[in-house]
Structure 1
Amino acid sequence: MIMADFKSSLSGPAPAPGVAPPLAALWWAAKGDWGKAHAIVQDEEGAEAAWVHAYLHRAEGDLGNAGYWYRRAGRPVASGPVEAEWGRITAAFLQGEQT
């Protein structure tokens, strides 16, 4: 899937079938459903879920909690607009970047 397709899917009622949980969480975050996004990654293991978890807490303004999750993800604490971070994470996952 490419970014344009992923963004187009935001007009639908749910992420595409088979989308990995971290990407599904980013999908729900883009739809404005922080709670659903958080519920998806909260119990997921792995660096990708931790990265999304960090992003979500940063987006809500809980920077201390975000810092913990960035460390778990092995990622530096993000700066700049959260929208830009959403785009970077989503693009990395869609391109198959290993975290």
Structure 2
Amino acid sequence: MKTLAKFKESLSLAQPDNGLSVPLKSLWYDGKGDWQRAHAQVDHLTDRESAWVHAYLHRKEGDIWNADYWYSKAHKTRPNVSLQEEWEQLVLHFL
């Protein structure tokens, strides 16, 4: 899966592709509207990539303090873009 369009198409499937990285699997579940399952993918991880997705998820949840904590762990700054734009930027980054 090398394009954003293909990734979005895969959201029509019942399960994510087995070859997806943890960050992409989390974003896939989020794209399906399953925040809990998306969060469960990265909640226990502390690497920068997982922290970045974790930050986005808490921003989406509206927990800005927690989001900012995870953005700092990812060495990122909370972006001033829509949640949809951030989701797409993350997907593109991890593809």
TM-score where L is the length of structure 1: 0.91
Structure 2 match to 1:61: 62
Structure 2, unpaired ranges of 5+: none
Moved >6 Å (runs of 4+) = none
- In the alignment of these two chains, the number of paired residues is 94
Structure 1 counterpart SS, 2:11: helix
Query: How far does the alpha carbon of each residue in 1:50-71 deviate from its partner, in whole angstroms, 9 at most, with x for none?
Result: 0000000000100000000000
What is the alpha-carbon distance in structure 2 between the residues aligned to residue 39 and residue 67 of structure 1? Answer: 19
CA offset at residue 6 of structure 1?
Answer: 0.7
CA offset at residue 83 of structure 1?
Answer: 0.6
What is the alpha-carbon distance in structure 2 between the residues aligned to residue 10 and residue 49 of structure 1? Answer: 20
What is the alpha-carbon distance in structure 2 between the residues aligned to residue 69 and residue 44 of structure 1? Answer: 11
Structure 1 match to 2:87: 86
Structure 1, unpaired ranges of 5+: 95-99
What is the alpha-carbon distance in structure 2 between the residues aligned to residue 41 and residue 71 of structure 1? Answer: 15
Structure 1 match to 2:24: 23
2:14 partner amino acid: P
Which range moves more in the overlay, 1-10 or 54-63? 1-10
Q: CA RMSD in A?
A: 0.8
